Structure 1
Amino acid sequence: MQRVAKARKLWSCLLGCEKKSEAGTLVNGKVVKVASLSRSKAIHTLATQSTSHDLHAFVANCLVHAYAQCGSMEDASRVFSAIHHKDQLSWSEMILGYAETGEGKLALDLYTRMKEEGCPVNHVTILAALKACVSLAEGDENNRTQCLEKGRGIHFDAATTRNEQQIFVASALVDMYARCGSLAEARGVFEKMEQRNTVSWNSLILGSTESGQADAALELYSRMKREGFTPDAITYVAVLKACGSLGALEAGRKVEAEISSAGIREKDTMVCNSLVDFYGKCGSMADARRVFEWIGGKRRDIVSWNALIDGYSRQGDSKQAFEAFERLCSGETPIRPNGVTFLAMLVLCSHAGLVDRAKDYFQAMVLEHGVAPDVKHFTCLVDLLGRADRLDEAVAMAKSIPCEASDPLWTSVLSSSWKWKNASTGTIAFQAMKNVETSSSAFVLISDIYKEQKR
């Protein structure tokens, strides 16, 4: 009994580490809770000194959980590997840890290994594996087909272990199918659910919106309320996104009234940001500005600013967009612009044909704000340079990024070369494309350029 009490005390200490609120720090590309990790390691040392062998698995599972919550899967893996008799909890904690730290492939590989080693899966393991599918699919859209097949296998496991109708498993299946692009299968699981919760409704509504079926999303929202379910913040975010994609201004205004009546607007910045974004997409910038100012300086985050700036950019209101950007950078708020902010500014400059101003923003993004540009930023600027017949600059910029990410840029250069009937630049762009064999449009463009030159 004394040894059990010691183990329980260690478990309480590890839970204490987890409960302490700590912002993660980027370490070698991973978000790690450094202080909590240090405390967990200290408790790990104490555990090896105080815990007897027969309690090793119990304490080890606690340590795996703690290390995973701190973001250190290397430490979690070392503890996991040392467990002689791994149980369902051991496997589940590792699978979930990998899924939550963006290592979806490792999580799914471990799920397969768990079954191969004869450890039966339960609803906790299945939930962790489904989360891994979603993590992997969201990380790279090219993985969606593979993740969908993996998810179907996990669905089969849920059915054979009689966990398919467990409400949290069923909701996770709806979410997995929706995020992996199979809305029909998500709808099939949803309609068969014996019980539903707000999570399952939200997954299907959001999945419908992101699959381009905004009308279906709004129908589901109405049905959700008719069947007596109370929308939450995630529901409203999904519904506003659907309204924005349809340009359904009046429908969105009714949703705002519901949000206000539910008291959510006063306490959820995410919902308010969605309102700003919705009004911006519908072209009602007076409403977007009203909600933005209502949020207040203390609650605003970078998403609030980006939604406002993007709204002005969509409407071509460069004056208001520039003013909002300058206000963001003025120092009245500790919030700094990010990659999304600068992309909106580059797109605005592109629409307005402001080449030099776009170059200034691009330079400020890197040198003043330390934001690393991605292929979208490069493509936007290269496209703008090309359309302005500054092809030499466009080529120089396209050459400045890694080859594996450069095809969209070279396609843009090739298109501009066709526009300006510049065969030499067109040839450079065509020869620089790594996947030219998969692009019939590239052959058409270079052929048309050569025809103009009678080559």
Structure 2
Amino acid sequence: MVSSTWQWRKFDAAPSPSPPAPGIPAIASFIKHCSSNLAGLRKVHSQIKRSGIDSRDRYIGNLLIGAYSSHGDEGGIADARAVLVNLARPSVKSWNILIAACVRQGQERAALELYAAMNCEGRTRPDAITMVSILSACSILGELGAGKALHERILADGFDSNAIVATAVVTMYFKCSSIDRARKAFDGMKNRTVVSWNTMITAYAHRGDFFQAMFLFESMDLERDCFTYSAILGAAKDLKAGRKIHQMILASGIRLDVAAFNALVSMYVRGGSMGEAREAFESMTIRDIVSWNAMIAGYVQFGYGVPAIELYERMVSSPQKPNAITYASVLAACSIAGDATKGRKIHSKVAVSGAYDSSITVQNALVNFYAKCGSFGEAESVFGRMRFRDLFSWNSMLAACSKHQKCDAMELILRQQILEGFQPDQQSLEHFSSMLQDHYLQPVPEHYRCVLDLLGRAGLLYEAEALIQSMPFQPDEVAWKCLLSACNNHGDADRGATIAKQVLRSESGRSASYVLVSQTR
């Protein structure tokens, strides 16, 4: 609580440009001291309000805005905005503190609203910092229209001469998927920095345009940094290009940071050269979780289960601890290697670490691991305990049913999948076909009818038609009626009419053909 013995200074209506007067430092100290606790901050603010100093003094007002803004997830942004509104004459810094906090706290729409309010207020003009924050908000939201309008104002107000603002414009266009506008803004920059070059190279890398990325890389008239090499390595289209860049790195004598080394390792993994990837990995003096995961996942991708497991064991004995991605990769490695014992031990570690409960990726990997290692029951148990599932979860369980020839379980899983709002995709059908073909099971019409019905209910009419055409026996009246009803329910008259003609030509469907055809009209 603020002391009642404080001597408050008398303020004029207009803010003083001079340093804070005696008494103000003590108030500022209290605000800073309570800034980490929203409830305490509000109590201090309530004391300050009695003097009215929070609305008269910019320095105190800005401190309060900044302190409240750090509690965006607890409603602090609203408190900060209230302080801003009550300030007699907010400065551009006052607005900037709150706008930047909104962007930082993931409230980009609020940042755009504040910028609009700032313009409506009319007394405070945005500066370069404002522009960078709003451009960042447009980038995150993908608001190309708002970004273009802001760019026009930047040009009109002369902010394009500021390299930071100009680079933010390039970033905005790149994030809004307008690569040509990004390049035009980049080419029009008056003062390019290495960050500007890196941003444009990264933009081309994200689009997969190695030619343009490499052209810019080789055109740089500034010294390249680690981020430059990370960006161009990410753009490398093949091993030949990647090796060329690697040689340039060695020739430059630059000492790569962890991120750039990770990009080098990933480049070799993408190119399938696990030997060179491992050499780059071993040459690192410092490794982070990305380094280990890139190598382990790379081994799994190319079917090297044992090296992946060995690298995982080396990792757990190092200071670096595994995360959910590590566990998912090494479980896949155990599946490849057929090492059920090791996989079960990893499952135990996963459960203890908490990754199992928090990561759907790990849960899916466990379903796959148990299915491939011959334990359908454990795969089914893991799947049944999952609190959240995605389409990959369902397909993983369908793959388990297929591998273990569980036709009835597959039917149940498909029905449950649709009931929970996940439509089967092409991979789902492939698991069904695999169960019948790869395992030489005798096709049963009921299984086909079940899947046909499920596909029809889900509106997957193309897949349903493909399935009925692939039946190893003549489709019966029930199958045709199921497909025609689905066409009727989902308003696909053209497909229904085509199928109806096939029905009329089909001896099995002749008895009910006229009824079925009428359903499509």
TM-score range relative to shorter protein? 0.7 to 0.9
Deviations 1:35-56 (A, max 9, x none): 5x62x55444444444516x2x
> Any residues of structure 2 matched to 1:7-18 within 5 Å, and which?
7=58
Q: TM-score, normalised by structure 2?
A: 0.66
The match for 1:259 is 284
Contact 2:452 2:467 in 1 (8 A): no
Name which of structure 1's ranges 116-125 and 248-257 shifts more when overlaid on structure 2.
Answer: 116-125
Match of 2:208 among 143, 156, 181: 181
Higher RCO, 1 or 2 (CA under 8 Å, sep at least 6)? Answer: 1
The residue number in structure 2 matching 1:237 is 262
Provide the residue aligned with 2:93 in structure 1. 58
Out of 268, 271, 295, which is 2:291 matched to?
Answer: 271
Q: Is the 8 Å Cα contact of residues 127 and 169 (structure 1) preserved in structure 2?
A: yes
CA contact (8 A) 1:276 1:291 kept: no
In 2 relative to 1, CA 427–307 (structure 1 residues): closer, same or farther, beyond 3 Å? closer
Cα deviation code 1:277-328 (max 9, x no counterpart) = 44555441453134322234x8443344334333323433232122201122
Query: Residues 10, 69 of structure 1: CA spacing in aligned structure 2 closer, same or farther, 3 A cutoff?
Result: farther
Q: 1:248 to 1:14 in 2, by over 3 A?
A: farther
Question: Over residues 102-122 of structure 1, what are the superposed CA-to-partner deviations in whole Å (9 max), with x where a residue is unaligned?
Answer: 52x23x232123245675563
Residue aligning to 1:110: 146
Report if aligned partners of 1:277, 1:288 keep a CA contact under 8 Å in 2. Answer: no
Give the total of aligned pairs.
Answer: 402
> Is the CA contact (8 Å cut-off) linking 2:296 and 2:329 kept in structure 1?
yes
Structure 1 counterpart of 2:345: 323
Letter in 1 for 2:310: D
Matches of 1:428 and 1:324, distance apart in 2 = 40
What is the aligned partner in structure 1 of residue 425 from structure 2? Answer: 407
Provide the C-alpha distance between the structure 1 equivalents of 2:175 and 2:381, rounded to a whole number of angstroms.
36
Per the alignment, residue 357 of structure 1 pairs with: 378
Residues 414, 445 of structure 1: 8 Å contact kept: no
Distance 1:345 1:383 in 2: 13
Matched residue type, 1:287: E
Match of 2:360 in 1: 339
- Given that 1:14 and 1:63 are in contact with CA atoms closer than 8 Å, whether structure 2 keeps it comes out as yes
Q: Contact between 2:266 and 2:294, CA under 8 Å: does it hold in 1?
A: yes
CA distances 1:330-380 after superposition (whole Å, capped 9, x unpaired) = x3x4554411111222222343454332221112222xxxxx211111122
Contact 1:417–1:425 (CA under 8 A) maintained in structure 2: no
Aligned mates of 1:345, 1:230 — CA distance in 2: 40
Match of residue 196, structure 2, among 159, 166, 169:
169
The answer to whether 1:224 aligns with 2:249 is: yes
Matching residue's letter, 1:395: L
Cα pair 1:414 1:430 within 8 Å, conserved: no
| C-alpha displacement of 1:15 | 6.1
Q: Is the 8 A contact 1:272 1:291 kept in 2?
A: no
Give me the whole-angstrom Cα distance separating, in 1, the residues matched to 2:189 and 2:148.
Answer: 16
Residue aligned with 2:103, SS: helix
Query: What is aligned with 1:156?
Result: 184
1: CA distance, partners of 2:368 / 2:240: 28
Corresponding residue for 1:142?
none
TM-fit CA distance, 1:96: 0.7
Aligned partners of 1:3 and 1:52 also within 8 Å? no
| 8 Å contact from structure 2 (residues 204, 210) kept in 1 | yes
SS of equivalent residue, structure 1 residue 194:
coil
Counterpart residue number, 2:16:
2
Q: 1:204 & 1:97 partners in 2: Cα distance?
A: 26
Q: Secondary structure at the match of 2:283?
A: helix
| Match status 1:197 vs 2:211 | no
Could you tell me which residue of structure 2 aligns to residue 376 of structure 1? 392
**Residue deviations 1:382-412, cap 9 Å, x none?**
2332452334224313323426x54346534
Aligned to 2:137: 97
Describe the superposition over 1:197-256 as per-residue Cα deviations: whole angstroms up to 9, x where unpaired. Answer: 211210121233xx6x35533442232122222211112222222343455443233223
What are the ranges of 5 or more consecutive residues in structure 2 without an aligned counterpart?
1-14, 20-56, 120-124, 477-507, 509-521
Distance 1:290 1:342 in 2: 21
Shift of 1:127: 3.8
CA contact (8 A) 2:68 2:79 kept: no
Pick closer, same or farther for the CA change 1:158–1:256 going to 2, 3 Å. closer
The structure whose Rg is larger is 2
Task: Assess, with a 3 A threshold, how the Cα gap between structure 1 residues 10 and 160 changes in structure 2: closer, same or farther.
Answer: same
Between the aligned residues of both structures, percent identity stands at 11
The residue number in structure 1 matching 2:73 is 34
Report how far residue 156 of structure 1 moved. 0.9
Q: What code does the residue aligned with 2:269 have? A: G
Cα 1:17–1:43 change in 2 (3 A) is closer
Distance in 2, Cα, partners of 1:159 & 1:275:
38
Distance 1:16 1:214 in 2: 51
Deviation at 1:175, TM superposition (A): 0.9
The amino acid that maps onto 1:381 is: M
| Alignment match, 1:29 | none
Give 1:208-223 correspondences, 5 Å limit.
208=236, 213-223=238-248
Cα deviation for residue 33 of structure 1 reads: 4.9
